[in-house]
Structure 1
Amino acid sequence: MANYHVSKDNEKQQWRIKKEGATKVSGYADTQKEAEKIAKELSVNSGGGEVRIHGLDGKIRDSDTVKPGNDPRSSKDTKH
C-alpha cells in the first residue's frame, strides 16, 4: 500500500504528485483534478492507500481511500 499527496508546486506552476515518504516527485499535472487522478492510479498500482489533496495553503483539504486500502473512517465518502 502507498499513500500519495497532491499539492501545488509554485515554482513549476503545476500540481505535484508525491508518494508519502519519497524524496522524489512521482509526477506533475496541469490541474489538481488531473493530479488527483494520476495519484489514485499510482495508489491502485501499489495496492491501494490514501490520496491526500492539499489546498493552495498547503493544508490537507480532502483525503480519499483507494481500494484495496483500509478506510480509517466507517462513514461513506459523499464527495467522490
Structure 2
Amino acid sequence: MPHEDGWQVKRDGGERASRVAGTKAEAEALGRAISRNQETELQIHRKDMTIQRSDSHGNDPNPPKDKR
C-alpha cells in the first residue's frame, strides 16, 4: 500500500505498517516473503488504494476450480 515515506507492507486490519520501503517493488518483495512464510494472501495495491492483484500463499478461501 502507499505510505507517506514510499510503500508499506501492512497486515489486513492492522493499524501500523509492518515494513516501509522506498519503492513499490521493494515493498512487494518484502510482503511476498512475509506472505509465503505466514501462508497468507498477498494483496498488491495501486496508489489509489484499489487492489491491483492478489496472490495466495496458503489456505486459499477461493481456490481455482478443477477444469477436468
- Structure 1 alignment gaps of length 5 or more: 1-6, 76-80
2:41 aligned partner: 50
- 2:55 corresponds to 1:64: yes
Percent identical: 34
* Offset from partner CA, 1:45-75 (integer Å, 9 cap, x none): 22x1111011011101111111xx1332416
- 2:13 corresponds to 1:21: yes
Q: Structure 2-normalised TM-score?
A: 0.79
Q: Distance in 2 between matches of 1:63 and 1:31?
A: 18
Give the structure, 1 or 2, with the largest relative contact order (CA under 8 Å, sep 6 or more).
Answer: 1
Kindly name which structure, 1 or 2, has the bigger radius of gyration based on alpha carbons: 2
Q: Structure 1-normalised TM-score?
A: 0.69
Cα RMSD after superposing both structures: 1.5
Code of the aligned partner of 2:56: T
* Offset from partner CA, 1:9-54 (integer Å, 9 cap, x none): 1x22x101101122221001111111111111112222x1111011
- 2:17 corresponds to 1:8: no
- Structure 2 alignment gaps of length 5 or more: none
Matched residues, number: 64
Task: Say which structure is richer in strand.
Answer: 1
Task: Say which structure is richer in helix.
Answer: 2
